[in-house]
Amino acid sequence: MFTLPRKQTAVLAALALACLTTAACSTSDEQPAASAAPGGVTELTVFAPQGANQNLQTATFTKVLGDKFKINFKFETTTYDAGPAAEKRQISLASGDYPDLYLLISWVDQFNRAELLKLSKQGVILPLNDLIAKYAPNIQKALEANPAYKTLATAPDGKIYGLPQWNDCFHCSYQGKFWINSAWLKKLGLSAPKTTEEMRAVLRAFKTKDPNGNGKADEIPLSSSTADMILPYFMNSFIYDPESSEATVPTLALNNGKVQFQPVQDKWREGLRYVASLYKEGLIDPGAFTQNRDGLKAKGDNADEVIVGAATMLHPAILVTLGQKDGRDEDYDAVPPLTGPDGVAYTSYRPASVPGASFVLTNKATEQDQIAAIKMLDYIFTDEGHLEGEFGKEGVGWQKPESGDVALNKDLKPLFEQIPADPDAPPINDAWGALTQYNSTRAFRESQVQPTDIYEPEGYERRLFEATKLYEGKEPKAQMFPFWSLWLGTDVAGETATLQTNINNYVTQANLEFVTGKRNIDSDEDWAAYLEGLNGLGLPRYLQIQQQAYDAL
C-alpha cells in the first residue's frame, strides 16, 4: 500500500478547505446493457491515478469499456504518490476546471466525507441513487448484499454522493504484524517469543550471538519503516492501539461508550517504557523511525549477509525481495500478538474500506455522461469486468482454474488464477489494476487459485492468509472506535481535520522522543509536560467532537 506522510496532511487539509469554499462472468451477475446512451458516443473526462507502467488512455481495458459503452475517454492522471495526487485533485476543484468523473484509488487519494457533504451542497458533485436504481443492477445488488458497504456509502440524508472502493483483503485488515527470521531462531535453539520478555531475550540473542555466522556484530535485531511503524505491535501488549500503519486514523478507542485517546493513558506510558528499554539496549534499528520502505528493503536485501532478524510490517516482501537464491525470503514467519505483563495481547484492525468516495460524478457530466459512467462501473462490479479490469485479458493476466486447483480459501470453489508477469518482458499496458477494486469481496479474493506450498513465490498470498489467522479475532471489538461510521458535520469538519493533524503529529514526535531518550519516559515531569502539550493543542475539544459524533450514531 502507498500512504500519505503525515507531514503533508496539514498542507493538504488547508488546501482542501480552500477548495471546499470554491466551487467468463459469474452467472449471478446481471449484465448491464452495452448500448450507448442516447446521442451516440459519450465524451467522458476522467481524473485518475496512473501506475508507473500504465497508460490509461491506451490501455486494453480502456478500449474494452469504450467499445462496450460507447465512451471516448479523456484522462487527466496523477501518479500513485499520495501527496502530489491529493494536491492535484484539490487544485482541479479549486480552479473550477474539473472533470466529469473522478475515478480514484482509496490508498492513493479519495474524497473525504466533509468534501462530499460540502461539494454536494454546492452542487459540484451529484448523488448517485437514481442512476444506480435505473442503470446499475450489480451495484444495487452489492449494496443490498453488504450492509456495511451501503452504510459506508450513504450520507445522513440518505444520498450516495460517491462510491468507496470495497477491497476486503483479509491480510490487509491486520496490518500490525511482526515477522521474524525463523532460520536465526533455529540456529540459536530458540522458540518464537510469546511474551514481551521472551521477545527481549530473542532480540538480545540476535544482537549478541552472531546468528548470521559471519563473525561480525552486524546483525540488526529489529527494524521497520515509517510506513509500517514499530510501536503498534508492541503497544498492543499493554493497551489497545488501533494504529497499524501511517495511513491509520488516530488512536481513539471506546471505554464503556466514552471516546478515549489512548496516548494519554497510563498503560500507554508503560508500553513506551518497554519499547524505550529495547531501544536503549540497541535492539531496535534507529533507522526504523526515519527510513521509508526502500531503506528497510535495502537492509533486508543486503548483498553480503542476512542482517535483519525481525521487522514490524504488513508482509515480508516489504523487507526482502521474493525468490532470492539464498532463500532468505522464505525464512521470515509471523509472530502472533505478544502477551504483556498484564496478560494483554491485542492487535489492530483495519476495515475493508475507508470513509469517503473514489467514484464521484460532477456537475460537468451531462446526463449521457452520467449514464455511461455508472454503466461502466456496474460492469466493473461483475466478476467478468472485475477480472478483466484488475488483471487484464483472460489468458494474459489471469486464467480459469484447472482440475485439482485449490482456492486460497479451501472452502470456496476456485474462480480464477493470476498469471505472473514475465519480469524480463516489457510491461503489458492491459488492465486498470487497483482502479477496479470496487467489489473485491472477501469471497472473490479468496476464490483465487493458490499453491498449497506457502513458500513458493506463487503461493505468497496463501502464506499471508495463513499468517493472518494468527491475528484474527485478537482485536478488542468492544474498544474499537467506529470512525468508518461517523459523518462529521460541515460545521466542524475543518476544525476536526486541523485538530487531528496537529495532535497526531505531536504524538508521533513525542513518542519517538520518549523511545529514543530525548524525553525521559520515567520522568513524571516530562510525562506531565507531554500531556499539557496535548491539552494545548485542543485534545479536549477534539474528543468532544468525536464523542458527539459517536453519540449521534
End-to-end CA distance of the chain: 30
**Helix-strand-coil split of the chain, %, nearest 5:** 45, 10, 45
pLDDT of residue 440: 95
Q: Does 14 score more than 70 pLDDT?
A: no
Return the axis-axis angle of helices 367-380 and 137-145, rounded to nearest 10°: 60
Q: How far is CA 355 from CA 44, 249, 262, 327, 375, in A?
A: 26, 11, 22, 40, 23
Q: Tell how strand 42-49 and strand 101-103 pair up.
A: parallel
pLDDT reported for residue 248? 54
Is the pLDDT reported for residue 28 higher than 80?
no
Phi and psi at 71, nearest 5°, equal -115, 130
Selection from 97, 88, 87 nearest residue 22 by Cα: 97
Residue 266 has pLDDT above 50, yes or no: yes
Helices first, then strands: H and E counts in the chain? 19, 11
pLDDT digits (tens, 9 = 90+) for 242-265: 986 655 556 899 999 999 999 999
28-32, 228-232, 400-404: which range is least confident on average?
28-32
At 147, the amino acid letter reads P
Is the pLDDT at 107 greater than 60, yes or no?
A: yes
pLDDT in tens, 198-208: 999 999 999 99
pLDDT of 383 strictly over 60: yes
Q: What is the structure's pLDDT at 3?
A: 35
> How large is the average pLDDT for residues 330-347?
98
Share of residues in the chain with pLDDT > 70 (%):
92
CB 230 within 8 A of CB 289: yes
pLDDT, position 11? 41
| Confidence band, pLDDT 50/70/90 cuts, at residue 23 | very low
What integer is the mean pLDDT of 34-40? 51
In the three-class reduction of DSSP (H, G, I as helix; E, B as strand; rest coil), residue 284 is classed as strand
Handedness of CA 440, 446, 447, 451 (dihedral sign): positive
Lowest pLDDT segment from 57-66, 492-501, 502-511: 492-501
Sign of CA dihedral 260, 265, 267, 269: positive
The pLDDT assigned to 83 comes to: 87
Q: How confident is the model at residue 2 (pLDDT cuts 50, 70, 90)?
A: very low
DSSP per-residue string spanning 95-124: HS---SEEE-BTTTB-B-HHHHHHHHHTTS
Instruction: Report residue 216: phi and psi, to 5°.
Output: -115, 150
Q: Model-level pTM?
A: 0.85
C-alpha cell at 39: 446521442
Confirm if 405 and 458 have CB atoms less than 8 A apart: no
Structural domains of the chain, with CATH: 42-170+354-385 (3.40.190.10), 178-348+478-552 (3.40.190.10)
Which backbone phi and psi does 154 adopt, to 5 degrees?
Answer: -100, 125
> Does residue 9 have a pLDDT over 70?
no
* C-alpha to C-alpha distance for 343 and 141, rounded to whole angstroms: 44
Burial (CB < 10 A; 0-12, 13-18, 19+), residue 352, is buried
Contact 228, 312 (CB under 8 A): yes
Q: How far is CA 537 from CA 80, 248, 515, 516, in A?
A: 32, 20, 22, 23
Residue 254 CB neighbours (<10 A)? 17
Write the pLDDT tens digit of every residue in 462-483: 999 999 999 999 999 999 999 8
Distance separating alpha carbons of residues 215 and 71, to the nearest angstrom: 65
Instruction: Please state, rounded to an integer, the average pLDDT across all residues of the chain.
Output: 91
Residue 89 reports pLDDT greater than 50: yes
CA-based angle 364:115:370, to the nearest 5?
30
Q: Which helix (H) or strand (E) holds 510?
A: helix 490-516
pLDDT tens, residue by residue, 133-188: 999 999 999 999 999 999 999 999 999 999 999 999 999 999 999 999 999 999 99
Answer whether residue 99 shows pLDDT above 60: yes
